[in-house]
Amino acid sequence: MRLDTLNTCTPAEAAEQLTPCVDIPRWVNAIVDARPFSSEAEVIAFAENAAHPWTEAEIDGALTHHPRIGERARGNTTEATMSRGEQAGVSTAGETQAALLEGNRAYEEKFGRVFLIRAAGRSAEDILGALNERLHNTPEQELDIIAQQLREIAVLRLKGVLAA
- CATH assignment of the domain containing 127: 1.10.3330.10
Instruction: Give the chain's domain count.
Output: 1
Predicted confidence band of residue 21 (pLDDT cuts 50, 70, 90): very high
DSSP 72: P
Residues 55-110 pLDDT 10s: 999 999 999 888 887 776 666 777 766 666 666 666 555 788 889 999 999 999 99
Higher pLDDT, 91 or 119: 119
Q: Is residue 6 within 8 Å of residue 46, measured between CB atoms?
A: no
Q: What is the pTM of this model?
A: 0.86
Residue 82 has what pLDDT?
Answer: 67
CA angle in degrees (0–180, nearest 5) for 112-17-61: 15
Residue 92 has what pLDDT?
Answer: 58
**Range of the structural domain that residue 71 is part of:** 3-163
Distance CA 42, CA 155 (A): 12
Distance CA 66, CA 137 (A): 21
